[in-house]
Amino acid sequence: MSRVNLNTELAPAASQDLLKQIHQAFGATPNMFKAVANSPAALNSMWNSFGALGGGSIGAKLGEQIAVAIANRNRCEYCLAAHTVLGKKAGASADEMGDAQVGRAADSKTAAALAFALKVVNERAQVTSNDVAALREAGFTDEHIVEIMAHVALNLITNYVNVAFDVPVDFPKISLRD
């Protein structure tokens, strides 16, 4: 049971227009957005971040692979389930999403991005010049590298919201992996 309100009718008036957009985009209102809607500022920030990054330079598929790796690392069952569905919609196979969940990928460029993202999470952003150079060697530009970091940051907030507030998973469940 969620630790915060999930009834959209009780969400502030300033959240209602965004909740309608979210409902239209998904065909339903995911529980995570119901929880975040308690703060219009937080909902606006999160929704706009998803929109901006969804149209970014690294592509939706890699963004979703990063999301499942971080969700698994942070033991966020909600984000793992949601981003697995979204990753498949972005063109990833079930195997690719399963591999990404544990920080692996068949292609070296995706593997480099996942390794970097997980190092950022595990080491609280204490990365080195060599870590950034490895991304460049894999074919990423500074634009891509900064965007990977933005995906990490967005996924941290969504993981923390869902775990801290015990938001019920409303996507097909995916098991966490070690």
Q: How far is CA 138 from the centre of its chain?
A: 22
**Does some domain include residue 175?**
no
- Do 79 and 158 form a contact (C-beta atoms < 8 A)? yes
Q: Which domain holds residue 16?
A: 11-54
Q: Please give the C-alpha separations between residue 165 and each of 13, 38, 152, 162, in angstroms, as whole numbers.
A: 22, 12, 20, 5
DSSP per residue over 75-119, as a string?
T-HHHHHHHHHHHHHTT--HHHHHHHHTT--SSHHHHHHHHHHHH
Q: pLDDT tens per residue, the chain (178 residues)? A: 899 999 999 999 999 999 999 999 999 999 999 999 999 999 999 999 999 999 999 999 999 999 999 999 999 999 999 999 999 999 999 999 999 999 999 999 999 999 999 999 999 999 999 999 999 999 999 999 999 999 999 999 999 999 999 999 999 999 999 9
CATH number at residue 106: 1.20.1290.10
**Does some domain include residue 98?**
yes
d(CA 117, CA 169): 24
Same domain, 64 and 92: yes
d(CA 131, CA 53): 22
**Does some domain include residue 81?**
yes
